[in-house]
């Protein structure tokens, strides 16, 4: 080989070596996943499963950091933080998107879905899928839904009929529909962050709140709320969300793998949600700290009658065709 050729080959090898070293030394893409609930909840478990799958499949390329229990951001700040690039993934309750879209308010309409199968059917149907993109114009996109479950009413006094709630203060998520729902029974709704609920209940600054069995159990609300009415009056599910800028900025192959891991983690989280709806309810019964009130059909009908007019109030903002599609999902 001529001297020049040897020199050229050596140079090429050196360049290739430096290039590969640069690639392997490139810092991994960091995905901060911020949420407000305990780790032992559907969302907490889903987030941890997502991290586990990404660790297995994209080691060195993508690193997931999970921040539970409002450690990084509360739900009132997380979406702003996402738009600033300070967090990449979150799964706020569908009740917390008021600033970004009115359409998702549909999920807060009381007594709209008869059970979680109907919720799943609606979410996977054309309207539910379209709603994943409801916040797109604001720079945020939904990557999927995650279940938690149906909400119950906890309180310091027994609530059997709507008049029992009149004059009482209830903590709600930041949703005008939920405010209207409590106003419909003469109660006083207060929008407060999830992280404050336990203390508000413990100090009796408020009388009650609405939440799922897993949230009532994992955040110990049942220890400071002697009564829980099994009302199943609404749904608390999540939109797994990211910023368009982050998502479209990912290399195609990485985005595909991350989405796959996310879908699998959501499937896992949904199984956890279904289990916890029964297990955590039972744990609360076993604790004997709180009495569960089961409503008769006639009592439940009174709640339906009092709260259902809220649908009409929000029909224009949400869209009648969307509400009709949700009603259809009950069949
Ligand atoms: C709440 O604020 O009550 C819930 O949205 C918390 C959660 O994320 O489940």
- Please give the full DSSP string across 84-146, using - where no structure is assigned: TTS-SEE--BGGG-TTT-SGGGGGGSTT--SSHHHHHHHHHSHHHHHHTTTTGGGTEEEEEEE
Q: Which residues pair with 155 in a beta bridge?
A: 208, 227
Instruction: Evaluate: CB of 173 within 6 angstroms of ligand 1.
Output: yes
pLDDT of residue 17: 47
Cα gap 5→194, rounded to integer Å: 69
Instruction: Evaluate: CB of 225 within 6 angstroms of ligand 1.
Output: no
Residue nearest to atom 2 of ligand 1 (CA): 194
Listed as ranges, residues in the chain with pLDDT below 70 are 1-25
Ligand 1 atom closest to the CA of 41, numbered from 1: 9
Among 78, 148, 220, which residue has the most ligand 1 atoms within 8 Å of its CB, making it the best to mutate?
Answer: 148
Q: Mean pLDDT score of the chain, rounded to an integer?
A: 94
Q: How many residues does the chain have?
A: 331
Cα gap 207→311, rounded to integer Å: 25
pLDDT in tens, 169-222: 999 999 999 999 999 999 999 999 999 999 999 999 999 999 999 999 999 999
Identify the CATH assignment for 28-328 out of 3.40.120.10, 3.90.79.10, 3.40.190.170, 2.60.40.10: 3.40.190.170
Cα gap 244→246, rounded to integer Å: 6
E strands present in 119-175: 140-150, 152-155, 169-172
Cα gap 218→201, rounded to integer Å: 15
Q: What is the pTM of this model?
A: 0.92
- How far is ligand 1, taken at its centre, from the CA of residue 9, in Å? 61
- How far is ligand 1, taken at its centre, from the CA of residue 171, in Å? 11
Cα gap 293→278, rounded to integer Å: 15
Instruction: Evaluate: CB of 93 within 6 angstroms of ligand 1.
Output: yes
Contact between 262 and 269 (Cβ < 8 Å): no
Instruction: Evaluate: CB of 211 within 6 angstroms of ligand 1.
Output: yes
Instruction: Evaluate: CB of 268 within 6 angstroms of ligand 1.
Output: no
Among 152, 194, 213, which residue has the most ligand 1 atoms within 8 Å of its CB, making it the best to mutate?
Answer: 194
Among 192, 215, 219, which residue has the most ligand 1 atoms within 8 Å of its CB, making it the best to mutate?
Answer: 215
pLDDT in tens, 69-83: 999 999 989 999 999
Cα gap 329→331, rounded to integer Å: 5
């Amino acid at each position: 080989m001529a001297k020049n050729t040897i020199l050229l080959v050596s140079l090429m090898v050196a360049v290739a070596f430096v290039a590969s070293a640069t690639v392997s030394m490139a810092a991994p893409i960091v995905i901060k996943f911020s949420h407000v609930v305990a780790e032992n909840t559907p969302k907490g478990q889903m987030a941890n499963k997502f991290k586990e799958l990404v660790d297995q499949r994209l080691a060195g390329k993508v690193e997931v950091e999970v921040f539970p229990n409002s450690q990084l951001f509360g739900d009132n700040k997380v979406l702003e933080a996402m738009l600033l690039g300070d967090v990449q993934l979150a799964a706020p309750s569908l009740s917390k998107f008021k600033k970004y879209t009115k359409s998702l308010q549909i999920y807060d309409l009381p007594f709209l879905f008869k059970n979680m199968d109907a919720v799943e059917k609606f979410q996977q149907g054309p309207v539910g899928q379209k709603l994943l993109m409801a916040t797109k114009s604001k720079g945020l996109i939904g990557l999927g839904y995650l279940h938690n479950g149906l909400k119950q009413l906890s309180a310091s006094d027994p609530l059997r009929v709507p008049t029992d709630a009149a004059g009482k203060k209830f903590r709600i998520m930041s949703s005008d529909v939920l405010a209207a729902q409590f106003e419909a029974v003469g109660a006083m709704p207060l929008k407060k962050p999830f992280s404050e609920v336990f203390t508000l209940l413990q100090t009796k600054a408020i009388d009650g709140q609405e939440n799922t069995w897993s949230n009532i159990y994992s955040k110990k609300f049942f220890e400071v709320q002697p009564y829980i009415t099994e009302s199943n009056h609404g749904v608390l599910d999540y939109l797994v969300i990211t910023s368009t800028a982050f998502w479209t900025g990912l290399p195609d192959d990485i985005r595909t793998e991350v989405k796959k891991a996310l879908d699998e983690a959501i499937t896992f989280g949904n199984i956890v949600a279904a289990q916890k709806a029964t297990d955590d309810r039972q744990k609360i019964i076993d604790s004997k700290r709180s009495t569960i009130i089961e409503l008769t059909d006639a009592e439940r009908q009174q709640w339906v009658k009092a709260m259902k007019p809220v649908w009409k109030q929000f029909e224009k903002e949400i869209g009648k065709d969307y509400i009709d599609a949700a009603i259809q999902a009950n069949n």
